[in-house]
Amino acid sequence: MLSMEQRLDYGKLAPEGTKALGRLEVYVRHSGLEHTLLELVKTRASQLNGCAFCLDMHTKDARAAGETEQRLYLLPAWREAPFYSGRERAALEWTEELTLIADRNVPGELYARMLEHFTEQELADLTFAVIGINSWNRLSVAFRVPAGTYEPAG
């Protein structure tokens, strides 16, 4: 197995920055968006960003919350899988567009479709969720936070 040592402990070196991201996480968790939806979004962004630590965490959290293995396994191919609701599909598409925003722009058609499934408040909250997971992904990938040790809260 490849040994990947963590480069630095950003939580120890930048505790206020880490706490600020933690507060964003608390806000999103209490926003009223479905827990299962948030875990799908966090998992999908983490797949796109290649973040092993966050994939380990959010797939475990999703399973602990009752998510099925089938839906987690097929998440990279969500467009071709019949297991996701219209609301989940919209959230996954939004997540992909925002995560890959440097390569493209967020089309007006997608924004219009989002408003068919989300209120403006929910869309703002969903966007904060995507911003949050992308931030955690970038920290974990940049500093090689090791995967495999995370356990969901009991």
**Domains of the chain, CATH where assigned:** 15-142 (1.20.1290.10)
Q: In this structure, are residues 84 and 134 in contact, taking their beta carbons and an 8 Å threshold?
A: no
Structure tokens at 111: 């924004």
Among the residues of the chain, which ranges form H helices? 10-13, 15-29, 35-49, 52-64, 69-73, 86-99, 108-117, 120-142
This prediction has a pTM of 0.94
Cα 92 to the center of its chain, rounded Å: 10
Structure tokens at 21: 């991201």
pLDDT of the chain, 154 residues: tens digit per residue: 555 799 999 999 999 999 999 999 999 999 999 999 999 999 999 999 999 999 999 999 999 999 999 999 999 999 999 999 999 999 999 999 999 999 888 999 999 999 999 999 999 999 999 999 999 999 999 999 999 989 998 7
